[in-house]
Structure 1
Amino acid sequence: MREFDYIVIKKPREIATVNLDLSDNASRICIMDRRELLLLFASSAQANILRQVPLEYSRAPNLIIFMLDDTGNYNAVVADAVQAEFVSAGAEV
């Protein structure tokens, strides 16, 4: 009978996510830390965006989200004081 040499214990993964359902008129999207104005994510807009952000953003509403239209036909839309969703270990993201 063989014995195990070691045991690996994996720590459950906890993350935070921002799930955006965007307007068809959006061209670009930015997610920023509202305290430091630090850019966390920028991309061309798609209908739905699910973005992982650092866990700290699930503890307080410290995100600001900008939706921009490159055609100039629409004003920018800003969502201020957004809090990311906490996702616990084993949850599907």
Structure 2
Amino acid sequence: MLSIGIDVSKGKSTVCGMKPGGEIVYAPFEVQHTRKGMSELVSLLRSSGEEVRAVLESTGSYHCPVVAALLENGIFVSVVNSLRMKRFCSQSIRKVKTDR
């Protein structure tokens, strides 16, 4: 399986890809939110020959072209609420040790 992380901004996104175990398949690169850019992204992901799962944060409407392009081409996409992600990242499993 290939995990794709997408950082969406206005007009472009930064994409990177990893395999389980931390092997980096795609170093971070930018893709424009144009038909050509989305087509190139989909082609790249399909050429891997592996199951692809993409994750990105909800960013108003900026993420819509990316999600639409991936879904139209049968690529799994998970859109995560950014506030929930921030809260998840700030949680700690362990209590802070207070004794000396």
TM-score under structure 2 length normalisation = 0.27
TM-score under structure 1 length normalisation = 0.29
Q: Mark the structure with the bigger radius of gyration.
A: 1
- Choose between structure 1 and 2: higher strand proportion: 1
Higher relative contact order (CA 8 A, sep 6+): 1
